[in-house]
Amino acid sequence: MGDLPPGTYAELRRGRKPCPQCKAIIGAGRKRCPACDHGFGTASAEVEDEGPVRATVGSSRVVIPGTSSQGAGDLILLVPNGGAPADLTGDTIEAVRKWLRVVVERYTSTNELSRPALTVEALERWARPFHARESESQMRVKYVLRSLTQEEIVRWLT
Ligand SMILES: [Zn+2]
Task: Spell out the domain ranges in the chain.
Answer: 1-40, 51-157
Residues for the chain: how many in total? 158
Output the CA 123–ligand 1 centroid distance in Å: 29
Residues in the 5 Å CB sphere of ion ligand 1: 19, 21-22, 24, 33, 35-36, 38
Rounded to an integer, what is the distance from CA 92 to the centroid of its chain? 15
Query: Which tens digits make up the pLDDT trace of 60-97?
Result: 678 898 898 888 777 888 888 889 999 999 999 999 99
Query: Which tens digits make up the pLDDT trace of 84-139?
Result: 999 999 999 999 999 999 999 999 998 777 888 899 999 999 999 999 999 999 99
Output the CA 10–ligand 1 centroid distance in Å: 14
Q: Please tell me the predicted confidence (pLDDT) of residue 155.
A: 92
pTM exceeding the 0.75 threshold for the entire prediction: no
- Looking at the DSSP bridge assignments, the partners of residue 39 are 32
∠ CA 75-105-115, rounded to 5°: 20
Output the CA 37–ligand 1 centroid distance in Å: 6
**Interatomic CA distance for residues 137 and 79, integer angstroms:** 21
Output the CA 61–ligand 1 centroid distance in Å: 30
